[in-house]
Structure 1
């Protein structure tokens, strides 16, 4: 069909915004609504944040010393290392960790450093039968036990020592593999607070990565992380989304120190608009969102008397249910289509719901405080008992290529490019700031403030950790 009428009004930016929209939509649900979709925002102060948090190399080093070694960090998915010897390499500032599947099926993690002269044992992930240092040949088995060394006669002084690779704490949750460099860290499940309960019905353990794209971004890792912690930027940064995204009408929630959430209603127009017709909402969400069960806006006609939100919800219910082999009759329209995005401190964000899930991860680019590595993963489901397809291989884009060059991202690629254009400019602007601080919205940017309050606890700047 032809694209529906685009004759609608964009209201002055001062007028938009109603954080109660999501709860109003939940009242229209025809199935029971889970309690965890209720608001949970404790409120925060309004003090400015210093730009040094982003622009200072000294602040970066403080994070490297006090925060990164103490937090649970997402490394990858279990399906990426299904067989003995399969491994990932996770680099975080000065540390490098090998996460490996052993020949007994157990996932272990080791410091990526030869105990002889310190060479990194692995530069990238892959599959090996043993961990053999490419420099002199010191070799460890897949459990990290020393297997052999060159010229044993010349290393008699090592006899009786523990020559196994130093382990790193590793744990999994719903197929997501995390590491923590702190031997005394709290268990991962406790660290995740409300998340396991909130994700209980979404079958992430039967997910598989269908796209994995990575690129270096010229911005501090927090700048990139925070770009996805609020939706109010959509009006200016992503204007093509306003016909089906309630950007400034989002709900923002926090749980303990480590978990926060934004809920942005979808298949409803932004309150920054007036006069958007329902057929246009349907067309645009299919064409532009990149997360729905279909992406062909011309293949669907909205039945008379049905809203785009109802139509998209039922379309997703059917196709997501078929993909996962589950009856999703109990699922709310919200869980089938809304942008329900959780952050796990410090550097991971996961879209919840029954499918169309995106994972973001932001890693500092070594010791460069004004550069980071940005990962995007798209997850799909497979049926219980079904052999899943192999996960998509990493597509590492050159620094000068946009995300839209990654065809596997579909409509999401151009959206990420719009975000990335802000990030380099943020680096320039933060350096140039005469004010010396940033001022956050009280509600819509409360997830960012929550992120910094937790960071301060690790750094000893606000209550200790």
Structure 2
């Protein structure tokens, strides 16, 4: 399979100042072919409607983080394609995913996150315990046919990994650990259980959910869409791996320029773009950054040294043996259908993409920053979600730092992509052989679910 003639990620790892973990040396690059795909997956409401039963209700989906419901009785509602679940901490160390529909006349039991000793329907007062078992019927004399022992709220499957709570509407679904493999093994070193939500921002897009997701599954659009990152981001020479129909990986190295431009940047220029004013790392370091490189030191190595010091101060944990790549490279693992989680130390990004209701041409993206709980301290409260209004840019969410304007650049493409696909004369899209591997795998998996032959 052809790849660009430039330094690759494995060669970049060879230059690391510390030994990278073995997981980053693993390769899995199957040939998924070059066939085009029909545009109806993006443009057709009927295709989307069929995907609800065939795919959305048969896949594991991240519903929330444990720290969002820290106390017994805390709950959050997870709504997806017309279904609604109450994710509740029902007892110490126990969680339930209860269907959010009264068994009397169907009213939703809750509409906002909160805390409850029980779930009482606001319509007639039918009440269930936190574990879903039936508690009270205000007119029990008229319901002899509804036996309390058989009147518990139905549950979806629930499983946990890395501090995340996942749900699946399919009772016959394969175990989460099997579905996520090899992520639990690869992430063991990064200990996401010891993280908390420091930032949570959501925004809607006027396009199909897959269009929104796929804008983040490859980096080679940077030359046209994000020219400001060209000096320090290896894009077309990123690494892609496919581990299963449900898990792919995309790794992009920082501190190396894009190979798609002819100009050769000096290490000093790379350092100024990577850690200077306006950069993500500059904001992480609080603006207290000397961008002048010592003689003979690369921009990448210098940045890693700064971040090791910062993380040690922030967390009370020694990072002296942590590899450069784990400090600031994009180590993104993609879980079908709609979840992306970044490995490494420091601030871990999480992306979640959802259809907006049952509309095939509207979607949302959520961005989370996870930070390490400082050694010896209590876990901070999870940040409340900031939903950016449709008429405001990502950049209006100050907590995103310089990521906000980058997301706005992507947002400029999304509605035009939806409209362009609807106007397509050929009726197909053509993905790259290597650079679009995660996208191709995503759509092959979706097609398999649509045929009914993909194991849950």
Q: State if a TM-score over 0.5 links the two structures.
A: yes
Distance between the aligned counterparts of 1:279 and 1:263, measured in 2? Answer: 24
Instruction: Name the structure 2 match of 1:263.
Output: 251
Instruction: Name the structure 1 match of 2:184.
Output: 196
Distance between the aligned counterparts of 2:95 and 2:89, measured in 1? Answer: 4
Instruction: Report the Cα offset of residue 461 of structure 1.
Output: 6.7
Instruction: Give 3-state SS (helix, strand or coil) of 2:106's partner.
Output: coil
Instruction: Name the structure 1 match of 2:158.
Output: 170
Instruction: Name the structure 2 match of 1:323.
Output: 314
Distance between the aligned counterparts of 1:104 and 1:211, measured in 2? Answer: 26
Instruction: Report the Cα offset of residue 299 of structure 1.
Output: 3.9
Tell me which of 280, 283, 288 is aligned to 1:290: 280
| 1:105-134 Cα deviation digits (max 9, x unpaired) | 411110110001001111122222221111
Distance between the aligned counterparts of 2:281 and 2:176, measured in 1? Answer: 29
| 1:230-265 Cα deviation digits (max 9, x unpaired) | 001000110001011111110111111111111111
Distance between the aligned counterparts of 2:380 and 2:148, measured in 1? Answer: 46
| 1:401-433 Cα deviation digits (max 9, x unpaired) | 111110100100000111111111111101101
Distance between the aligned counterparts of 1:17 and 1:401, measured in 2? Answer: 38
Which residues in structure 2 correspond to 1:305-324 (within 5 Å)? 305-324=296-315
| 1:257-290 Cα deviation digits (max 9, x unpaired) | 1111111110121113323122222222224442
Instruction: Give 3-state SS (helix, strand or coil) of 2:52's partner.
Output: helix
Instruction: Name the structure 2 match of 1:11.
Output: none
Instruction: Name the structure 2 match of 1:36.
Output: 23
Distance between the aligned counterparts of 2:60 and 2:305, measured in 1? Answer: 37
Q: Is the aligned partner of 1:444 residue 2:435?
A: yes
Q: Which moved more, 1:17-26 or 1:81-90?
A: 17-26
Preserved contact between residue 254 and residue 450 of structure 1 (Cα < 8 Å) = yes
Tell me which of 335, 346, 356 is aligned to 2:347: 356
Distance between the aligned counterparts of 2:177 and 2:75, measured in 1? Answer: 23
Instruction: Give 3-state SS (helix, strand or coil) of 1:369's partner.
Output: coil
| 1:319-355 Cα deviation digits (max 9, x unpaired) | 2233333222332111111111110111000111112
Q: Which moved more, 1:147-156 or 1:210-219?
A: 147-156
Instruction: Give 3-state SS (helix, strand or coil) of 1:361's partner.
Output: strand
The change in CA–CA distance for 1:45 and 1:187 in structure 2 (over 3 A counts) is same
Compute the RMSD of aligned alpha carbons. Answer: 1.8
Instruction: Report the Cα offset of residue 208 of structure 1.
Output: 0.8
Instruction: Name the structure 2 match of 1:224.
Output: 212
Instruction: Name the structure 1 match of 2:445.
Output: 454
Q: Is the aligned partner of 1:277 residue 2:255?
A: no
Q: Is the aligned partner of 1:122 residue 2:113?
A: no
Instruction: Give 3-state SS (helix, strand or coil) of 1:84's partner.
Output: coil
Distance between the aligned counterparts of 2:254 and 2:147, measured in 1? Answer: 64
The change in CA–CA distance for 1:289 and 1:166 in structure 2 (over 3 A counts) is farther
Q: Is the aligned partner of 1:48 residue 2:48?
A: no
Instruction: Report the Cα offset of residue 456 of structure 1.
Output: 1.9
Distance between the aligned counterparts of 1:442 and 1:200, measured in 2? Answer: 31
The change in CA–CA distance for 1:238 and 1:164 in structure 2 (over 3 A counts) is same
Instruction: Name the structure 1 match of 2:129.
Output: 141
Q: Which moved more, 1:209-218 or 1:381-390?
A: 381-390
Preserved contact between residue 54 and residue 452 of structure 2 (Cα < 8 Å) = no
Q: What 5-or-longer segments of structure 2 have no aligned partner?
A: none
Distance between the aligned counterparts of 2:79 and 2:432, measured in 1? Answer: 33
The change in CA–CA distance for 1:464 and 1:205 in structure 2 (over 3 A counts) is closer
Q: Which moved more, 1:110-119 or 1:29-38?
A: 29-38
Q: Which moved more, 1:61-70 or 1:286-295?
A: 286-295
The change in CA–CA distance for 1:197 and 1:54 in structure 2 (over 3 A counts) is same
Instruction: Report the Cα offset of residue 102 of structure 1.
Output: 1.3
Instruction: Name the structure 2 match of 1:23.
Output: 10
Q: Which moved more, 1:432-441 or 1:317-326?
A: 317-326
The change in CA–CA distance for 1:190 and 1:402 in structure 2 (over 3 A counts) is same
Instruction: Give 3-state SS (helix, strand or coil) of 2:189's partner.
Output: coil
Which residues in structure 2 correspond to 1:59-458 (within 5 Å)? 59-159=47-147, 162-273=150-261, 274-286=263-275, 287-290=277-280, 293-294=284-285, 296=287, 299-458=290-449
Aligned length: 450
The change in CA–CA distance for 1:62 and 1:437 in structure 2 (over 3 A counts) is same
Preserved contact between residue 313 and residue 336 of structure 1 (Cα < 8 Å) = yes
Distance between the aligned counterparts of 2:254 and 2:331, measured in 1? Answer: 10
Instruction: Report the Cα offset of residue 297 of structure 1.
Output: 7.5
| 1:275-325 Cα deviation digits (max 9, x unpaired) | 312222222222444257425375432212111100111111222233333
Instruction: Give 3-state SS (helix, strand or coil) of 2:280's partner.
Output: coil
